[in-house]
Each structure stands twice: as structure tokens, then as C-alpha cells.
Amino acid sequence: MTPNETVTYELKPDQLAWLEAMATKHALPDVSKALRCVLNHAMQEPGAEAAIFGCVRCSHC
């Protein structure tokens, strides 16, 4: 298993709240794990890239 790297990202309050809720709901140790789960799904699911980036969703503009 590859070790995790420490990085810093900026999130909107509702994005962080959602990650916190998902970590709690799925008994994950922290929001970092929740974000890694989302990224793993996006990277491995066929068609995810088009679904994520193919349509502009700008709820924070």
C-alpha cells in the first residue's frame, strides 16, 4: 500500500460538511478518508470523468 501524502486543499463550508457527514455515515476515520473514497471512485468508475467534468456545475460562482 502506498503511504498517504499530506496536502492542503480549499473547500467551501458545505463541501466540508458533506465530507464530514459521509465520514460519519460510513464509519470512516476522518474526512480525508471520505475524500480518498470519492477520488478512488472517480478514478476507477468508467464514464466518471465525463460525468464529473462534462457538465459545468457552478454552485459556488
Residue 15: pLDDT over 90: yes
**In the chain, domain spans:** 26-54
pLDDT score, position 6 = 95
Residue 24: pLDDT over 80: yes
pLDDT score, position 18 = 98
Question: What pTM does this model have?
Answer: 0.84
Give the C-alpha distances (Å, rounded to integers) separating 22 from 15, 27, 29, 55, 59. Answer: 11, 8, 11, 24, 20
* Chain segment 29-49, per-residue pLDDT in tens: 999 999 999 999 999 999 999
Residue 59: pLDDT over 80: no
